[in-house]
Amino acid sequence: MVNGQNFMDELNKFAGNIQGDPRQQVQNLLNNGQMSQQTYSRFQKIAEQIQSGNAMQAIMSIFGR
Percent with pLDDT over 70 in the chain: 91
DSSP letters along the chain, please? ---HHHHHHHHHHHHHT--S-HHHHHHHHHHTTSS-HHHHHHHHHHHHHHHTT-HHHHHHHHTT-
Provide the pLDDT for residue 3. 63
* pTM of the shown model: 0.55
pLDDT tens digits, one per residue of 46-60:
888 877 887 787 777
Distance CA 52, CA 48 (A): 6
Confidence check: pLDDT of 61 > 80: no
CA 41 to chain centre: 8
